[in-house]
């Protein structure tokens, strides 16, 4: 089974992906993780990624698709969770084309629905708790940065909601429900 997790920063995509990895033997394909892994790999692709990132430029969609292709052609296990990709319609089309090329398909797109005000309060509170416990909060886990990140997310990914709804893949799940309830609702959507 191959799925996409959609949701704004802090909606719980990472938490839910980790649960699916444990319970369904799926492989989480996080764009950020793949880029960091490639950068330190020493492979030709990794050197290309490192050069682009070191120059402060954005990695092209072609490179990201290439990294995803490497993962898809490797170990399949229980399927893949696409986390952080696609973010645009162009990327969605490229992913669909790649899946077709390697004999795979997209089974579901899980959209974590959230209320932005509650989400901001949750993340700012989480950052404060981390600092109070002697830890370190993400530099961008503050109200102003979060609002900017949310606006950027919606500008880039809103079109994906309609795209996947039209394809019949989209399932909404309340991302602000208790974690176990979100897990249960995702499981129902996938079964």
Catalytic (active site) residue 138: yes
Token duo for residue 75: 């170990």
Catalytic (active site) residue 22: no
Active-site option among 24, 71, 76, 138: 138
Cα-Cα-Cα-Cα dihedral sign, residues 171, 175, 181, 187: positive
Catalytic (active site) residue 87: yes
Secondary structure class of 108 (helix, strand, coil): strand
The count of C-alpha atoms lying within 13 angstroms of the C-alpha of 43, restricted to the half-sphere facing its C-beta, is 13
Of 168, 159, 188, 157, nearest to 108 by C-alpha is 168
Cα-Cα-Cα-Cα dihedral sign, residues 168, 8, 76, 95: positive
Active-site option among 126, 147, 167, 188: 126
Catalytic (active site) residue 47: no
Active-site option among 48, 69, 149, 156: 149
Active-site option among 47, 87, 122, 167: 87
Active centre residues (catalytic):
13, 87, 126, 138, 149
């Amino acid at each position: 089974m191959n799925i996409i997790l959609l949701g704004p920063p802090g909606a719980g995509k990472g938490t839910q992906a980790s649960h699916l990895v444990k319970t369904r033997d799926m492989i989480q394909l996080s764009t950020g993780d793949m880029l960091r892994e490639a950068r330190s790999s020493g492979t030709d692709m990794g050197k290309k990624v490192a050069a682009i990132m070191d120059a402060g430029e954005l990695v092209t969609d072609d490179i990201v698709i290439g990294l995803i292709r490497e993962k898809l052609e490797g170990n399949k296990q229980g399927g893949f969770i696409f986390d952080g990709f696609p973010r645009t319609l162009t990327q969605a089309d490229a992913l669909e084309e790649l899946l077709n090329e390697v004999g795979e398909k997209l089974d579901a797109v899980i959209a974590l629905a959230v209320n932005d005000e509650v989400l901001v309060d949750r993340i700012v509170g989480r950052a404060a708790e981390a600092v109070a416990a002697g830890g370190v909060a993400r530099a961008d886990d503050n109200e102003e940065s979060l609002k900017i990140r949310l606006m950027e997310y919606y500008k880039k990914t809103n079109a994906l909601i309609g795209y996947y709804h039209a394809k019949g893949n989209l399932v909404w799940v309340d991302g602000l429900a208790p974690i176990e309830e979100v897990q249960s609702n995702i499981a129902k959507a996938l079964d």
